[in-house]
Structure 1
């Protein structure tokens, strides 16, 4: 309820111009699409993870059994050699299925590595699991597929949680060549608003592939401070008009 009270005025600029409303509609559409994408990815992993884990376990057990059959077959005569050839064919099929699963995980892990730069430093402490992503293809091939799938699902869950909540942090930002210690309000992972301790400086932050970028927003310090105090329950719930910075974003 509190998050909604802060966000509602964010959707209407004080000037009320049609151009601004159109820009805001477009921005909100991108933000909602981002939330929908994350939710769909998480639901997909939740629905498929258990099935994959079972399939992976069966395939790996089958592969192990077939390898044992192949090893045993090397000591037998021509009749056993035919069985060995059949076992080899079955193993090749199992290996092909495992390869398909690896390709799916490769794509998911690459997507999550891009997400890592879009999570601000002030919120990164609440996310665990990025270090468990394989950094090279060789490392990925050594990891069990079940473990990789579990890591991917856990990270998508945490990202969705961040996207669906408001957060207030205190951190140091580099803005236009100057370092500032500020309080920051994050609206999911789509927008952020920073304010100095004296409320005399404010900025709007937007995510990008290289990290968050910040643009000063003159005269909006008091509004950002009221929003942060309301979120922290230091003020009674109220409507707060936040500065808006419309910018093109790179999709994750």
Structure 2
């Protein structure tokens, strides 16, 4: 097509000898126009390829950098993991040894448990026996509380409160309470004890009376002036007071001797002595 246009542009006119200036100018203009279009298209395509190449190169460099960083991190972690594996292997060995020891210990414990089971059954039989005995002593203590002397009443009340608060299953604790109470009673029964109590007389007067206990067998009481005397005997509902006007002097002197306000002397006071077979003498 271009060759045809060129031939037409430079073909001699039938009426003239050569091409006209107009045709030459138009031909040159068309050539420059086509060249400009070609250069514009080529430049645009070349610019797009350069941008794509630059972007791909940048991504490739970033990827290489990340690969290097990951590789370095992996090398560092590999060393740590290697050490951790060694520690875990050592721990596994120790735990295996401990497990073997525990198995041996469990077998020994199983054998001991079988023996202890028989021992436990024997202990349950013994416990039932001692629980029954402890109940008997508790009942005996409660019966004794009915005729305890005034001197021991507060201590016995405390012991009874402890028994009521104690766990029935705790045989040891209950036994200690009863042993302490009966021990105190035994000490009192083996000694001569002086006590002072308020007593209302027949005329309505209240006087402080000296009471001399001979253990749990008997007691003698007298007013401070030595004008009234009593003999006390234990009963089912407490100690019973009996007037003893005929023994006022003897009982009064007996109280003074115990209080070390007069020299010792022999005094005759009412009382009964029981021999081993239970009879009176």
Sort the TM-score into its range (normalised by shorter chain).
0.5 to 0.7
**Matches of 2:203 and 2:119 in 1, distance apart?**
62
The answer as to whether partners of 1:113 and 1:130 remain within 8 angstroms in 2 is: no
Aligned pairs, how many? 164
**Matches of 2:260 and 2:155 in 1, distance apart?**
21
2:231: which partner in 1? 204
Q: For residues 160-239 of structure 1, what are the structure 2 equivalents within 5 Å?
A: 160-173=186-199, 180-181=206-207, 182-239=209-266
- SS of 2:196's equivalent in the other structure is strand
**Matches of 1:177 and 1:119 in 2, distance apart?**
28
Shift of the 208–117 alpha-carbon distance from structure 1 to 2, 3 Å rule, reads same
Q: Does 1:153 align with 2:153?
A: no
Which protein has greater RCO, CA pairs closer than 8 Å, 6+ apart? 1
**Matches of 2:156 and 2:269 in 1, distance apart?**
27
The alignment's TM-score, normalised by the length of structure 2, stands at 0.49
The answer as to whether partners of 1:186 and 1:193 remain within 8 angstroms in 2 is: yes
**Matches of 1:118 and 1:186 in 2, distance apart?**
14
Bigger radius of gyration, 1 or 2? 2
The alignment's TM-score, normalised by the length of structure 1, stands at 0.54
The answer as to whether partners of 1:108 and 1:152 remain within 8 angstroms in 2 is: yes
**Matches of 1:200 and 1:193 in 2, distance apart?**
14
**Matches of 1:130 and 1:175 in 2, distance apart?**
32
Higher helix share: 2
The answer as to whether partners of 2:168 and 2:174 remain within 8 angstroms in 1 is: no
2:9: which partner in 1? none
2:136: which partner in 1? 107
- SS of 1:197's equivalent in the other structure is coil
**Matches of 1:97 and 1:238 in 2, distance apart?**
54
| Structure 1: tracts of 5 or more residues without a match | 1-79, 247-252
- SS of 1:214's equivalent in the other structure is strand
1:28: which partner in 2? none
1:101 is displaced (CA, Å) by 0.9
- SS of 1:200's equivalent in the other structure is coil
